[in-house]
Structure 1
Amino acid sequence: MNRRWSAVVAAFGLALLLGGCSAPAGLAVFQREASAQDRLPAGIEEPQDPPLVNSRFLAEADGVRHFAAQAEEGALACLVAVPGGSKDYVAGCGRSMTAGPIVSVSGRGVSAATLVPDGFDTTEQQVQGWRKLQGNLLIGPR
């Protein structure tokens, strides 16, 4: 009988240990409180399936504001690039729980931009001329 309880307690302890070490879904930027600056500009058409529930301003570069947005469970992350003084924007979405880049966007008036997961090593991209403006945002060479 003691062996059974020992096995159950050991399994439960292992589950707690592993559960405590796992990272939350999504990007760390969503862990902070949202501010007015984090709202996507009016006119941005958001996907409906799944709907986006959070957005955060990441950085501005070359007159373009860059936002990260995520779906409810944090498994889907989007990058939205909005040129200043324009109603045009570019956006793309990808799985946030990835080891590589999540999504890249570019378009009229928008330099190439890439959303990367937390802790992503950007050394190779920076050697190639990409700029790291924020922990999750790279802007392509001009």
Structure 2
Amino acid sequence: MKRPVIIIAVIIASLSAGIVLSPAAPTPPTIRALDRAATQDDFLPEGIPPLPSEEHTIRLLATADGIRYFVGQTKDAASTCLAIYPDDRPTQWVAGCGQPTDSREEIVRTGANGIVTAVLVSDDFDTTQLVEEGFKRVHENIYVIKTTRIPGA
């Protein structure tokens, strides 16, 4: 009689330890800055193809060193894009999109040669490694590093 009770106790203890020791479940990435009402500044500059407004929220999240950083996200948050628009070189704008499912992942990393590389992260992302790599915060969700100019570019 004691043996089945001991076996059941061992199974319950093992299952409980597995739950406690398992890594935290992924949480979807969020960018609270997209929740504010849109302003005139949130319109993409001419030359950048528009996103369907009924499907995307677009906000200007930062301006630093003559560069504007726009973030667009689908209403279901399945896709998030970062557009980098250098005001002094408007034809060198660049954009990238990502579809992360975990707030511990970068949402998107994109850049323009000779200008910057930018990383878009969720609100609760641990930015320690980005800072150690030399990235500078221009917004809670955007970190940038200058890139070297390519000769002739």
Give the TM-score range, shorter chain: 0.7 to 0.9
Q: Which residue does 1:69 correspond to in 2? A: 72
Q: Which runs of 5+ in 2 are unaligned?
A: 1-26, 148-153
Q: Which runs of 5+ in 1 are unaligned?
A: 1-22
The change in CA–CA distance for 1:26 and 1:125 in structure 2 (over 3 A counts) is closer
Q: Which residue does 1:42 correspond to in 2? A: 46
Superposition RMSD on alpha carbons, in Å?
Answer: 2.5
Q: Which residue does 1:112 correspond to in 2? A: 117
Question: Contact 2:111–2:117 (CA<8 Å) still a contact in 1?
Answer: yes
| Aligned-residue offset at 1:88 | 2.9
**1:57 is matched with which residue: 57, 60, 64?**
60
Question: Contact 1:104–1:112 (CA<8 Å) still a contact in 2?
Answer: yes
| Aligned-residue offset at 1:62 | 2.3
Aligned residues: 119
Q: Which residue does 1:130 correspond to in 2? A: 135
DSSP-derived class of the 2:91 partner: coil
| Aligned-residue offset at 1:25 | 7.0
**Counterpart code for 2:82:** L
- Please give the per-residue CA displacement for 1:13-48, whole angstroms capped at 9, x wherever unaligned: xxxxxxxxxx88742111111111111112212467
Q: Distance in 2 between matches of 1:73 and 1:25?
A: 12
TM-score by length of structure 1 reads 0.72
The change in CA–CA distance for 1:133 and 1:88 in structure 2 (over 3 A counts) is same
Which shows bigger deviation, 70-79 or 105-114?
A: 105-114
Is 1:101 aligned to 2:106, yes or no? yes
Q: Rg bigger for which structure?
A: 2
- Please give the per-residue CA displacement for 1:59-108, whole angstroms capped at 9, x wherever unaligned: 12222111111112112100000010323310000015322111111114
TM-score by length of structure 2 reads 0.67
Q: Which residue does 2:144 correspond to in 1? A: 139
Question: Contact 1:81–1:89 (CA<8 Å) still a contact in 2?
Answer: yes
